[in-house]
A and B are shown apart, each in its own frame.
Chain A
Amino acid sequence: MIEQLIQKANEQVLEIIQNTQPVITGIGTALDVVPGMTKTTILHAGPPIKWENMSGPLKGAVMGALIYEGLAANAEEAEKLAASGEIKFDPCHHHNAVGPMAGVTSATMPVWILENKSYGNKAYCTLNEGLGKVLRYGAYSSEVIDRLKWMENTLAPVLKEALELHGPIDLKTMLAQAIQMGDEGHNRNKAGTSLLIRELAPFIVKTSFHEDDKAAVLKFMHSNDHFFLNLTMPACKCTLDAAMGVKYSTIVVTQARNGTEFGIRVSGLGERWFTAPCNAVKGLYFPGFTEKDANPDIGDSVITETAGIGGFAMAGAPAIVQFVGGTPKDAVNYTTSMYEITEGENKSYVIPFLNFRGTPTGIDIRKVIETGILPIINTGIAHKEAGVGQVGAGLVHPPQKCYEDALEAFVQEMEKEGVI
């Protein structure tokens, strides 16, 4: 009867994912809104990790955040403080939050506040800093800190007031549209960013801020194709958090990387992480960089694939496969192969090219092990040294060991339950 138990649980998980309604309700300061946040807490991407085990870009981002928070005056001090044990490091995922690349979130950073209208849970994510030298890739120079300050003092307040004027934004509809417009919500967010600007622009104009500030905000959003990424991620996060802890379910509800380890969590196994060393990303490098410069896979953004978009929706975003020298047909094949390891098809996120078929949704650890097909992830590549930034983009798979260990634990759990 075990098969039926699992089947029912997995159907329930999929139903939750389908029914979820993520909306943007506002912008707040991390310390005020993110549960469990303190002035000396630094949240990071991926599964738990100690300072000494952090990779270059994560260390750099932590140092940058400590300087930004005024807890350290310079890099040297920041490094010392980070190693002192006075700073509490914790995964974003333990605080209903997610963060791209290093994912570093500290007390005074502004965050998007999302609410899952169907289930009442919330999710948080910082605002996207743009391309080039940015904190999420481990850069911590003064230009990075200055930008973060501008975001705190101008960008966030303007958007906050615009949101108050607009009212909550239904993200599910916006994301569904973006996916039909060639985004996959992970490595391509051009359409989503544009849709957000269209939605917010009239209200930004109506805010009480100086015209220059309003123009700067619009320009900043426009100059960054990935601005919307920091909304797709928490949208997926609040979707999957609602599906966490369904007994007997073999569906994956978290995948995340901290630049050292890749971790997954399975609905039926609750908060337990199953981790293994991150894989190298296969992809295209920006001129002057090679795979020797690359940091192993990093970031919480794989929450998108976990929810059924990102790499899983590649058939709708064929431009992405060029990162690995592929063809549009390869993009279709990537998506098609993900149906082999997922529980169902997404009702909201559909791909026109596949006859409006829903994206493959709900990774089943059993199917991954049985077929040997690992989830496909679209991702950026960080330089392995702190402060250099993005060096490329490409495709990556989780280490199979995470899935093997999760299956092992799941069987043990079922034994304990006495159902097998």
Chain B
Amino acid sequence: MSKVNELFRQDLKVINMGLKSFSQDLKKQNTEVLQVDWRPPAGGNPRMIELLNRLKNKK
């Protein structure tokens, strides 16, 4: 069975990244949802992103 068909048989469990209202709507419908308090990696600071990447293994 494909993963999509598996999904059709499961209870929806949602991770929501972005608009909080989507989470609130799902909660109202008793659907399990986890809101991510997302922010840009390293605050969007290009220098910090570069530094962090330097500390990662080269692919």
Do A and B touch directly, given a CB cutoff of 8 Å in the complex? yes
Contacts of B45 in A (CB 8 A): 404
Q: A420 and B54: CB pair below 8 A?
A: yes
**Which of B41, B42, B43, B57 meets A2, CB within 8 Å?**
B57
Q: Does A85 reach chain B (CB closer than 8 Å)?
A: no
Q: B48 and A2: CB pair below 8 A?
A: no
- Report A183 CB to chain B, min CB distance, Å: 28
Contacts of A372 in B (CB 8 A): 39-40, 42-43
* Size band of the interface chain B makes with A: 10 to 19
Q: A369 and B55: CB pair below 8 A?
A: no
- Report A99 CB to chain B, min CB distance, Å: 33
Q: Does A81 reach chain B (CB closer than 8 Å)?
A: no
Q: Does A212 reach chain B (CB closer than 8 Å)?
A: no
Q: Does A195 reach chain B (CB closer than 8 Å)?
A: no
Q: Does A407 reach chain B (CB closer than 8 Å)?
A: yes
Most buried by A among B39, B40, B54: B54
**Which of A3, A370, A420 meets B41, CB within 8 Å?**
A370
Distance A250 CA – B55 CA, assembled complex (angstroms): 10
Question: Given A372-B39, A372-B43, does the pair A2, B55 have CB atoms closer than 8 Å?
Answer: yes
Distance A366 CA – B41 CA, assembled complex (angstroms): 11
A-facing residues in B6-47 (Cβ within 8 Å): 39-43, 45
Q: A6 and B55: CB pair below 8 A?
A: yes
Q: B43 and A414: CB pair below 8 A?
A: no
Q: Does A52 reach chain B (CB closer than 8 Å)?
A: no
Q: B43 and A3: CB pair below 8 A?
A: no
Distance A250 CA – B48 CA, assembled complex (angstroms): 15
Contacts of B56 in A (CB 8 A): 2-3
Q: Does B1 reach chain A (CB closer than 8 Å)?
A: no
Q: A3 and B57: CB pair below 8 A?
A: yes
**Which of B39, B41, B51, B57 meets A411, CB within 8 Å?**
B51
Q: Does A86 reach chain B (CB closer than 8 Å)?
A: no
Contacts of B57 in A (CB 8 A): 1-4
- Report A359 CB to chain B, min CB distance, Å: 21
Q: A407 and B41: CB pair below 8 A?
A: no
Q: Does B52 reach chain A (CB closer than 8 Å)?
A: yes
Distance A322 CA – B42 CA, assembled complex (angstroms): 30
Most buried by B among A3, A250, A411: A411
Contacts of A420 in B (CB 8 A): 54-55
- Report A341 CB to chain B, min CB distance, Å: 13
Contacts of A404 in B (CB 8 A): 45, 48
Question: Given A404-B48, A407-B48, does the pair A369, B42 have CB atoms closer than 8 Å?
Answer: yes
Contacts of A411 in B (CB 8 A): 51, 54-55
Q: A414 and B54: CB pair below 8 A?
A: yes
Distance A128 CA – B26 CA, assembled complex (angstroms): 52
Interface residues in chain A, defined as those with a beta carbon under 8 Å from any beta carbon in chain B: 1-4, 6, 250, 366, 369-372, 400, 404, 407-408, 410-411, 414, 420
New A-B pairs, 5, CB < 8 Å, besides A366-B55, A411-B55? A2-B54, A4-B57, A372-B40, A372-B43, A420-B55
Question: Shortest 6 CB-CB distances between A and B: which pairs?
Answer: A372-B43, A3-B57, A411-B51, A411-B54, A407-B51, A369-B48
